[in-house]
Copies of this chain bind each other. A is one copy, B any other.
Amino acid sequence: MKIIDKINSRISEKRPFFSFEFFPPKTDGGVHNLYNRLERMAKLEPTFIDFTWGAGGSTSGLSLELSRVVQQYFGVDVMMHLTCTQMPLDKIQETLTQCQEFGIQNILALRGDPPQGGGEWKPCEGGIAYGSDLVKYMRSQFGDYFGIGVAGYPEGHEQSSDKDECIRFLKLKVDNGADFIVTQLFYDVEEFFNFKERCLSAGITVPILPGILPIQNYSSFKKFSDFLKIKVPDGITSELENIRTDDEAVQKYGIKLCAKMCQELLNRGVPGLHFYTLNLEKSVTAVLKNIGLIDESVSSRVLPWRPATVDGRRAEEEDVRPIFWSNRPKSYLARTMTWDNFPNGRWGLSSSPAFGRWRDHYLSRQAAGASARLEKLKKSLGEPKTFDDVSQVFINFCDGKIDQLPWCEFPVQAETSKIDNDLHRINSMGYLTINSQPQVNGADSTDPYVGWGGAGGYVYQKAYVEFFSSPEKLEVIFKKLDKFPSISFRAVNKEGKIYSNDKKRTESVNAVTWGVFPGKEIIQPTVVDSESFMIWKDEAFKLWLDEWASFYPVGSQANDLIQQIHDNFYLVNIVENDYISGDLFRLFDD
């Protein structure tokens, strides 16, 4: 979606918004950590996330991949920076075409800095000389497809302090088709509003987002402000001088100062705030909390899962997903990326299109960050000698001691805390849980843990648990099922041998998460259905080999152990249909 449209609707709703800027990390591990950080910060619902363009294209490939992954899998709209530095026209053309393919619809059009080593900026052979020309070029080649942002310099450009010239350039960019302006960072609020004044009198009326950099560390702050020739009010300088050696104090001060500044900007009518995060999380999050733009006591989820943001997907039509991938949403998105229609979002009908291959680029070993992810995973899994070692890994995961499993991309959700003890207990019994949700009977739709769908509604969940089990342990519970008529039970091994307690029931589509809202039909975004379970089954069993056994040499004890589990165990899913008075975990009592 175009960011300008979101900005305009927020302005008309008078709801202030914010956005985050990141840069491509230099190392593989850095990329992996950034993905985890992006995962968390995406939950704060920024209006967009933008990635800087590797100066001189040094890390430009990574900029493109980060943008693609976040746009396609994180449910956040991305704005990718694009500079003219060392970019001949054909390379620009190629990059923008790729963006189109990836569903990246927003570009921050920049001239860019001089290549490393500095010196005077020069356009490359057959390149573009000005940001305004880049905007013009994009409009001429891609028409209205892209939303285009451009940079504004409240205190003049570092390479030209002639403020009027800057405004003339800016006007030209806007006249050529830029949709909105993001400003250089500043610490003197008056500088911003003077700039805004000058824009207005020059006839620039598009939205202007102030660029905000919370001071997080004295030396980096000094470096930036000097390099960018940013005016720093004396008060700030002196305050900082006093605490310059105390990093923590500097950070605290930076947060306080930044929150005060943001509040003033909002009070004086700024529609939203653009944060230069420097890939850091803590300060920005703290600032947003201080000024009340994020309230963790209220759920802001639209649905229990994050809808896709790829246009081709017609995300607005997708309103139901099988529960099986809830801990591997990217895999699900990758496999269903080609589905461009979800008739009424009803699973029953969307089951026709075949699931795609489940390995998407982001997760595959080749992808940036992937090897670091697998390294980390391997460390978490250790080198099991016995089944107890394996089961201990699952216990550690649900105790939060390790933060991923082959089947779970993220640490356990706060939501499940209600059933942590039960999960711990059944894992100790040797049932290896990989997915679950607690029972919810009409919780407020703004509940911080289980809420979704906005205020005024009630949400419900049927208790669900999914795990691997040995045939012997499977039999133990299977025998008990007669005493639990309200439970739907389904088990399958890698060959597809099935046990279920009620074929009719387990063959149909079981809604396990639903919500009731004013003036709406019942929304049922999460289902358990046999059809997709059989597809998930293949993926789930394959993960034993690809992301566990493969970490050990063939023939080693650990490799054999995992291989045996893969060969013999059953994947089991259990739904307690009585979400009011049922208790799924009683099934595991003796």
Number of A residues whose C-beta is below 8 Å from B? 36
A442, closest chain B residue (CB)? B580
Binding-face segment, A52-60, A99-107, A136-144, A517-525: A517-525
- A268 CB–B CB distance under 8 Å: no
B579 and A519 within 8 A (CB): no
A178 CB to nearest B CB, Å? 33
Q: Which candidate, A246-254, A308-316, A463-471, A506-514, is the interface stretch facing chain B? A: A506-514
Per-residue contact bits, chain A 549-590, to B (CB 8 Å; 1 contact, 0 not): 000000000000000000000000001011110000000000
A527-B521 in contact (CB<8A): yes
Cβ of B519 and Cβ of A510 under 8 Å apart?
A: yes
Q: Which chain B positions have C-beta within 8 A of A518?
A: 486, 488, 505, 510, 577-578
Q: How far is the CA of A335 from the CA of B514 in the complex (A)?
A: 32
Q: A516 contacts B579, CB within 8 Å?
A: yes
Q: A510 to nearest B CB, angstroms?
A: 5
A528 to B, closest residue via Cβ: B519
When distances are taken between beta carbons in the complex, the residues of chain B under 8 Å from A5 are none
Which residues on B sit within 8 Å (CB–CB) of A517? 577
A460 adjacent to chain B (CB < 8 Å) = yes
Cross-chain contact of A504 among B349, B506, B511, B519 (Cβ < 8 A) = B519
CA distance A72 to B317 in the complex (A): 36
* Residue of B348, B527, B577 touching A344 (CB-CB under 8 A): B348
- B580 A519 Cβ-Cβ under 8 A: no
Q: Count chain B CB atoms within 10 A of each CB in A343, A349, A502, A520 and give the residue with the most.
A: A520
- Is the beta-carbon distance between A509 and B520 smaller than 8 angstroms? yes
CA distance A578 to B508 in the complex (A): 30
Question: Which chain B residue shows the least CB distance to A527?
Answer: B521
CB contacts (< 8 Å) of A456 on chain B: these are: 485-486, 577-578
Residue of B441, B504, B511, B578 touching A521 (CB-CB under 8 A): B511
A346 at interface, CB cutoff 8 A:
yes
Q: What is the distance, in angstroms, from A345's C-beta to the closest C-beta of chain B?
A: 10
Cα(A509)–Cα(B577), bound, Å:
27
Q: Mark A328-352, 1 if CB is under 8 A from B, else 0.
A: 0000000000000001101011000
Within 8 A of B (CB), among A457-490: 458, 460, 485-486, 488
Contact digits for A520-550, partner B, Cβ 8 Å, 1 yes 0 no: 1110100100000000000000000000000
Asked if B527 and A577 make an inter-chain contact with CB atoms under 8 angstroms apart, the answer reads no
- Kindly state the separation between the CA atoms of A458 and B486 in the bound complex, as whole angstroms: 12
CB of A331 to closest CB in B, whole Å = 24
Q: How far does the Cβ of A532 sit from chain B's closest Cβ, in whole Å?
A: 14
Residues of B within 8 A of A575 (CB): 519
Distance from A485 Cβ to chain B, minimum over Cβ atoms (Å): 7
Chain B residues whose C-beta falls within 8 Å of the C-beta of A349 in the assembled complex: 344
Closest Cβ of chain B: how far from A487's Cβ, in Å?
9
What are 16 of the A-B contact pairs (CB < 8 Å)? A344-B348, A346-B521, A441-B442, A442-B442, A458-B580, A488-B518, A488-B519, A502-B519, A508-B520, A510-B518, A511-B522, A517-B577, A518-B577, A518-B578, A519-B577, A521-B524
In the A-B complex, list the 9 residue pairs whose CB atoms are closest, starting with the nearest: A505-B519, A518-B577, A511-B521, A522-B522, A510-B519, A488-B519, A511-B522, A522-B524, A514-B522
Query: Beyond the given A344-B349, A514-B522, A521-B527, could you list 15 further A-B residue pairs with CB under 8 A, ordered by the A residue number?
Result: A344-B344, A344-B346, A346-B521, A441-B442, A456-B486, A456-B577, A456-B578, A458-B580, A488-B518, A504-B519, A505-B518, A505-B519, A511-B516, A521-B524, A522-B524
